[in-house]
Every structure is written in C-alpha cells, then in structure tokens.
Structure 1
C-alpha cells in the first residue's frame, strides 16, 4: 500500500489527505498541536478547519514529525509559503530516504524570490526530479465535499508525476500530469495576487467588466513572466493557469478574493488580517512576485497595483485611476 505523509492539517492539507485516503493510500496527517491530532483521531473530523466533514479511516493524525514521515512514499507539504524553509529544515532529519516531496503551496519566497519547489530542493538537499507540485482549481471545502475537480501534478520526471497521479486519483478528483514545473508554480502563485485585485474591485462595487479585465490581463502578466522564465505558454491556458485563476477570482471560498474584498470595502490591512482566520498567500507573495518580475525585466502593472494597495497603503480608488491611466499599448505586450 502506498503511504503518504501530509505535513499541514489546515483545510487544504486535510482535504488532500482525504483525497489520498480515498485513492487507497495510508495517510499520516501532521499538525503542530497534539490536542487537535487527538481530536481528529477520536472523532474522525477536523473541527478547526473542516467542521462537520467525516474523514476516511485511512487517515491517522499526529503531532510527531518522525511518526508522520516514517516510510512515506510521498511527503506532502502544505504549510504557508513563507514558513516552508524553517519548517522543512526541522523536518529534514526524519524524511524517508527516497520519499517524493510534493508541494501544495502557492507562493514565492520573500527575499530570495524562489519558487516553492526550489526551496524544497535546496533545504531538503534532493534533486529536482524528486520534487513534485500539485496545483489547479482546488478550493478545499469543495474537495472535502467530494465535488468533481481536476488538478495538475507536475514534476521534471514524468514517471514521478505519473506515480503521484495514480496515488491521488479518485472518482471525484482527476489529476493530469505535466513536466512544466515552472509554469505550474507561477500560475498558482500569481493567481493569488490577481485574486486580491479582483476582490478589491468587488469590494469597491465594480462590475463584471472590470473583474473580467483583471482576470484576463492578470493571465497576460502571468504568461509574460512565465515566458521570461522558460515556462511553456500552454500551461497558462490549462488548469494550473486559467483554471486556478478563474476559481480564485470568482469564488467566495477563496481567501485571497475575500481578503481583497475587505480591502476594497475600506478595511485597513490590519483589520483585514484580523478578520482572516487562515493565510491568504497573495498578501505576502505579491511582493515576492513583483520582485521576481523585476529580476526578469517583466512588466506586471496589476501586481504593482496590488502591492501599492496592500503594503504601501495607497487608497484603492487612487490605485485604480493610476492603473487605468497607463499609456496605450497593443494587447499582446
């Protein structure tokens, strides 16, 4: 039987643990709090993150990293992007020798501008072909309700991607393989930033034309950055690009969309953070995405606008006026 360790028992980590268990894997679900692990094992529910959802019998919760990681064929990492480096450094000594490390995180590291798979290979000291990425339109509550969804599993080694595909395929969850790790990760990271922008527009009371414009031009920004970094442009028309972008920008279940909506309604950054129970990755990653774009000489005006609102305190109405007053240009630039 395939054994998987899932490091992170938040809503998405728990939902993906359910997918793995439903696909026939033996799953160990790690979380920092021992009391929550005990409650998960006793009640077969995760009351803090997915209340009311019954978990499959194939999941065992633990607060012991060594217990979680033991003999795992796949080690799935589902922690906030900016905490990955420190967490993984602590877990490295207990990782199974040949485990495949799977990133479910959608962000870019502050300071280094590294993608999550790059952080994993560096910190865990493993080759890139032992690191896979799972991404796509995967809102945790819908996955936990076993509603039909698809995803992309990406790895430079297609055989590894196929192994992961088999390990997480269920009647309701359909993963596709891809070898374009760069494109898949960029799609997942930048869509959070565009989700913030669409949320801000929604909070300002703007209509569907405005939101469709942000989604479309946001996809253009993502594609430009991807091309500069060697990604396959077709990736951005697929699940990791357009699919994830549409889900994030249209659903109230999206943390980034909701966070942006609160900002657009006039809440301050600190008020919005206080009202948000879980991590909205785009809040910090918008700065690192912009840093990455500048390192590659790529123009990303929507990302710049989000940074100016979220971190520089620029009023959304002022930022919108500046964005719309940019000089005219052809669409494909």
Structure 2
C-alpha cells in the first residue's frame, strides 16, 4: 500500500492519480482529514477533483499502513522537523520526497535531509515538471524518480506509475534534487521580469543564464551533467518560468508589479535562494541571478536595481 503524507495540492493530486489505478491509497492530512473523507474532495486545494473510492483520508499518523512506500508531500522547510517528530513511524521505510528546495539552515535537499535525519530509511525523490491540477485532472505528466539504490528505484518506478503519470528513473539524486530546487529561484526572477514589463526576450535570457547557474552549482556538488538537461532540471525550469500556475513565478510577478502576495502560499524559491547564496559564497561560486532573487525577496533590492546590477556585470564569453 502507498501512503501520501501531506494533503496540499501536490500530495492530494498524487494520491488521486495513484488511487485511480484501483489500489488502496492513504492520504494523511495534518488537519481537515475527516471533512475530506466525508466530502470526498480537497475543497480548498483541488475542488474540481473528486476522490476515487480507493482513496482514504486520515489525520492520524497511527492509521497509516505499516508497509509500502511513503510519499512525503510536506513543505521542504518543514521536512527535517517532520521526520524528527515522526521518526518512530517512518524509520526503515522507503521514503519518497515529493517536495523541492534546499533547507535554509543545513543547505541540504530533500534526499540528503532524509539521509541525515533518518539514516535507516531508504530515501528517494519524485520531481519534475508538474502542476497538481494537471495530475489530479488525469492530464499526462512525466516525472523523475531519483534513487541511489537502482533496484529500489525500479520497484518504486513501477509502484508510482499510473495511466497519466509516466515515471523515469535516475540514480543521480544530487542532480535531481538540485534541479527541482534551483528552478524555483529562477522562476521568481522570470516572474519579476514579466511583472516589471521587461518582455519575453529578457525572460528568455534569464532562463538561459539561470540554467547556467543551476548547472554550475549542481556540478560543484557532484551532480551528473546530463541530469540537469532532463525532466528534473531543464524540463521543470521551462514549465515553472512560463506559467502563472507556478507559485514561485506568481510571487515574482507580484514583486515586479509591486503588489502584495498571499503570505499563506508556500514559495520554496525564497528560502532556497538564501540557502544557495550562503552555500555559493562559502565555496566561491558566482550565482548572480540567485543572489539578486535573495535580495529581492528580502526587500534589499528593487526589480530595477536587480536588473541594473545584472546588466552592469563585466562582459565575458558565454
């Protein structure tokens, strides 16, 4: 049996897609589980996606199955504390992170966070270009399953594939988690660019140079070059930087338009940008776009200031 911990939009959409195969799926919700179980929908996050009969919702971790893979669809900045608080339940399980970003304090991605917090667990990551509404609606989506253990990766690939979810696998966990984390930062920059009215040409330049930054940092941390050109890197970057369904892109739009943004919406690119800047400074890696996004998010820069800083950098070969 498969368990999904976290009833946000993405966790709920994965549970719905998996349940459409007819297998029993348990979805844990921190709150509101009884209402979702009764109404057979997540009215707040995905009101147009009814739950299949094989999907059960609970707000009690003691009710989750004792075997089978566990998908961790909790925000990245809460992952470490969630694992610590529930170590007895999650130890020695196959844990598949379904979140993206870098921990603001440790600078680690989701797989490394699982490994350091629960060494007895088998860590994997599900990532790639995807929107919850598409998955819940049954629209075709391709994702990457990253797992260092190749045999476990094949098992999880089979278990998580559904009629609308095509799962590819890789053993490059570093590349997969960094691609998913860093693209959120670049998406904020692209949103700010469009929000400020700078145009599509400027956005294309930001995406391209942002992708170069993603590769630069990922390779320094031991990723394989090809991973960043796949679904978990370039694929996710292309989706997130061009659609208002992306929370990070919408946050950037708000910055560019000098508009308020809903503080209740999780924008993983903000803490990730700060973590990237701190790690890059320690290792003397040049990350100008990520640095600008961190400053923008803190209110230290205006979008115009950030643009001027980027345009005034020394000329060089591509």
TM-score in terms of structure 1 length:
0.92
Work out the CA distance in 2 between the residues paired with 1:23 and 1:295: 47
Work out the CA distance in 1 between the residues paired with 2:113 and 2:228: 22
Task: Give the superposition deviation at 1:24.
Answer: 4.3
- 5 Å-filtered alignment, 1:50-61, equals 50-61=46-57
Is 1:320 aligned to residue 307 of structure 2?
yes
Work out the CA distance in 2 between the residues paired with 1:24 and 1:238: 30
For the Cα contact (< 8 Å) 1:74–1:102, is it kept in 2?
A: yes
2:190 aligned partner: 198
2:26 is paired with a residue whose SS is strand
Work out the CA distance in 1 between the residues paired with 2:56 and 2:205: 45
2:103 aligned partner: 109
Work out the CA distance in 2 between the residues paired with 1:326 and 1:25: 55
Task: Give the superposition deviation at 1:26.
Answer: 2.0
1:200 is paired with a residue whose SS is helix
Measured at CA, do residues 277 and 147 of structure 1 come closer, stay the same or move farther in structure 2, by a change above 3 Å? farther
Task: Give the superposition deviation at 1:41.
Answer: 1.2
For the Cα contact (< 8 Å) 1:19–1:168, is it kept in 2?
A: no
1:43 aligned partner: 39
Work out the CA distance in 2 between the residues paired with 1:91 and 1:99: 12
Is 1:92 aligned to residue 90 of structure 2?
no
For the Cα contact (< 8 Å) 1:23–1:169, is it kept in 2?
A: no
Work out the CA distance in 2 between the residues paired with 1:277 and 1:247: 23
Work out the CA distance in 2 between the residues paired with 1:194 and 1:104: 20
For the Cα contact (< 8 Å) 1:73–1:98, is it kept in 2?
A: no
1:32 aligned partner: 30
- Consecutive unaligned residues in structure 2, runs of 5 or more: none
2:115 is paired with a residue whose SS is helix
Work out the CA distance in 2 between the residues paired with 1:23 and 1:91: 29
1:283 aligned partner: 270
Is 1:166 aligned to residue 161 of structure 2?
no
Work out the CA distance in 1 between the residues paired with 2:302 and 2:55: 46
Measured at CA, do residues 291 and 25 of structure 1 come closer, stay the same or move farther in structure 2, by a change above 3 Å? farther
Work out the CA distance in 2 between the residues paired with 1:64 and 1:244: 33
Aligned Cα root-mean-square deviation (Å): 1.3
- Consecutive unaligned residues in structure 1, runs of 5 or more: none
2:241 is paired with a residue whose SS is helix
Task: Give the superposition deviation at 1:25.
Answer: 3.5
- 5 Å-filtered alignment, 1:182-331, equals 182-267=174-259, 271-272=260-261, 275-331=262-318
Task: Give the superposition deviation at 1:23.
Answer: 3.6
TM-score in terms of structure 2 length:
0.96
Is 1:134 aligned to residue 126 of structure 2?
yes
The number of residues matched between the two structures is: 318
Work out the CA distance in 1 between the residues paired with 2:130 and 2:189: 19
For the Cα contact (< 8 Å) 1:23–1:168, is it kept in 2?
A: no
Work out the CA distance in 2 between the residues paired with 1:101 and 1:23: 21
Task: Give the superposition deviation at 1:276.
Answer: 4.8
1:67 aligned partner: 63
For the Cα contact (< 8 Å) 1:196–1:306, is it kept in 2?
A: yes
For the Cα contact (< 8 Å) 2:92–2:120, is it kept in 1?
A: no
Tell me which stretches of 4 or more aligned residues in structure 1 moved more than 6 Å: none
